[in-house]
Amino acid sequence: MSPGPGKPGLEETAARTGVATRMAEAAGAWLDSLDPGQREVAVGPPPAAGGESEVERTRWYYTPTDHGGLTFHEQRPAQHRSVMRLVASGLSEAGYTTVATVLGLENVLDRVEGFSVNWGRERTRDPGEYYLRVFGEPGGPRPWGWRFGGHHVSLNYLVVDGRIAASTPNFLGADPAAAPLLGGAALRPLGVAEDLAGELVRSLHPELAARAVLLPRPPNDVVAGNSARVEDRVVKRAELWRPGHHVPDRAEQPVTGLDGADRSALAITPAPRGVAGSELNAAQRELLRGLLGTYLDRAPEGVSPLPRYDDPAALDAVHLAWAGSTTAGEPHYYRLQGPRLLIEWTNVHRGANHAHAVWRDPETDFGGDVLADHHAAHHQATTYRS
């Protein structure tokens, strides 16, 4: 997420600069390890303010399709380690642990499906099928960025003027959302994001609950899908897969499975729907802030925008909306929406044991506004000097 209104403070600027420096070092080390053939696949054009060169950088997926870039399978173990070093540079410790767990869940999912799913490739549920691509030159004077993704992971970053300018869209999923561990424990990588939201909606006074629950049935997936921009349009299932790769049945159906009045009831509108933070009591506001932390603290300290919600007015503006059952363990959807914020969650499939959880900044996903400002300033400076 890019900085809020006005100039960032000195502390925030220093933090964003420090993270960007670590990213550049990690990305540079990875690129230096690649041979020419690998590098050709691994590097994309530098970020630009619009135009065809941005189409690939702003294309993102969360399904097991080609995300664009170099996979683990195409690299040596030492290069794998360099990939994970770069991934770690963009995440908090807890965020990195969660991402690493989601990668490993591919092996668990393979067992859940009886090691039998076949989509016409050597292995369908594959922890080696995660992709990294760097856009531009890390650490150079021009904007640069990187994208890491595969099934249930999509991380997108932009660096402008030597500091982090954007870190969304940021998508994590878990299938299974809960799996048994020895001793009766459960592995739930995204469990707290589910539990806090459920506790919050069930704590609402009936009048507030009636306004929070927009629809008695949940959508099949997050409403905005993998759109490059958050807007009110129908995202079709085929869009979740890169052309030429496996596309599931019902490709022309909406990802949400909703149409007509149901779609309208759950559409993402500029004015948030649901219940505002300003209508919650003190305990509920604490739950709301904790829930925000399960998403925003994926980013490192100083880059995460969570501290801005220490301001009561910022928390007031965050709206909770829900669809589906409010009973724990049953299929459901929720979202948190406010200025510079869209969070979506769904847990519907496999008997409510398959979760999607995405954090977005509708105004500047991929840092488009920051890029535009950078290029405008650079162009003006060049014109003045000439």
Same domain for 22 and 78?
yes
Handedness of CA 160, 103, 69, 340 (dihedral sign): negative
Report helix, strand or coil for 170.
strand
The pLDDT value given to residue 381: 43
Report helix, strand or coil for 276.
strand
Same domain for 70 and 113?
yes
In the listed set 168, 189, 215, which residue is the last one of a domain according to the structure?
A: 168
Same domain for 219 and 348?
yes
13 pLDDT higher than 50 = yes
Confidence of residue 140 (pLDDT cuts 50, 70, 90): confident
Residue 261 lies in a domain: yes
Residue 57 lies in a domain: yes
Same domain for 138 and 224?
no
Q: Are 317 and 308 in contact (CB under 8 A)?
A: no
- Rg (the chain; Cα; Å): 21
Same domain for 103 and 22?
yes
Residue 78 lies in a domain: yes
Residue 48 lies in a domain: yes
2 pLDDT higher than 60 = no
Rounded Cα gap, residues 342 and 351, in angstroms: 26
Rounded Cα gap, residues 160 and 158, in angstroms: 7
Residue 4 lies in a domain: no
Same domain for 216 and 350?
yes
Angle ∠(10,12,17) on CA atoms, nearest 5: 95
Contacts of 234 (CB under 8 A, 6+ apart): 254, 259, 263
Same domain for 145 and 217?
no
Residue 252 lies in a domain: yes
Same domain for 27 and 141?
yes
Q: What is the pLDDT of residues 168-201, one digit of tens each?
A: 999 999 999 999 999 999 999 999 999 999 999 9
Report helix, strand or coil for 223.
coil
Same domain for 139 and 226?
no
Rounded Cα gap, residues 194 and 324, in angstroms: 13
368 pLDDT higher than 80 = no
Rounded Cα gap, residues 158 and 167, in angstroms: 7
331 prior amide bond cis, ω within 30:
no
Burial of 257 (0-12, 13-18, 19+ CB in 10 A): middle
Residue 102 lies in a domain: yes
Boundaries of domain holding 107: 10-168
* Among the ranges given (116-125, 162-171, 290-299), the one the predictor scored with the smallest mean pLDDT: 116-125
Across 248-274, average pLDDT: 94
Instruction: For residue 152, report the phi and psi dihedrals to the nearest 5 degrees.
Output: 70, 15
In the listed set 133, 168, 203, which residue is the last one of a domain according to the structure?
A: 168
What sections of 203-250 are H helices per DSSP?
206-212
Confidence of residue 51 (pLDDT cuts 50, 70, 90): confident
Across 373-379, average pLDDT: 65
Angle ∠(257,357,185) on CA atoms, nearest 5: 115
Amino acid in position 216: P
Same domain for 101 and 159?
yes
Contacts of 119 (CB under 8 A, 6+ apart): 64, 246
Rounded Cα gap, residues 90 and 159, in angstroms: 11
Please state, rounded to an integer, the average pLDDT across all residues of the chain.
Answer: 93
Report helix, strand or coil for 103.
helix
The pLDDT value given to residue 378: 61
Rounded Cα gap, residues 147 and 49, in angstroms: 17
Q: Into how many domains does the chain fold?
A: 2
Rounded Cα gap, residues 150 and 103, in angstroms: 8
Same domain for 155 and 85?
yes
20 pLDDT higher than 70 = yes
In the listed set 113, 141, 168, which residue is the last one of a domain according to the structure?
A: 168
Placement of tokens 């006005």 in the chain: 6
Same domain for 110 and 191?
no
Q: Are 372 and 49 in contact (CB under 8 A)?
A: yes
Residue 259 lies in a domain: yes
Rounded Cα gap, residues 7 and 380, in angstroms: 20
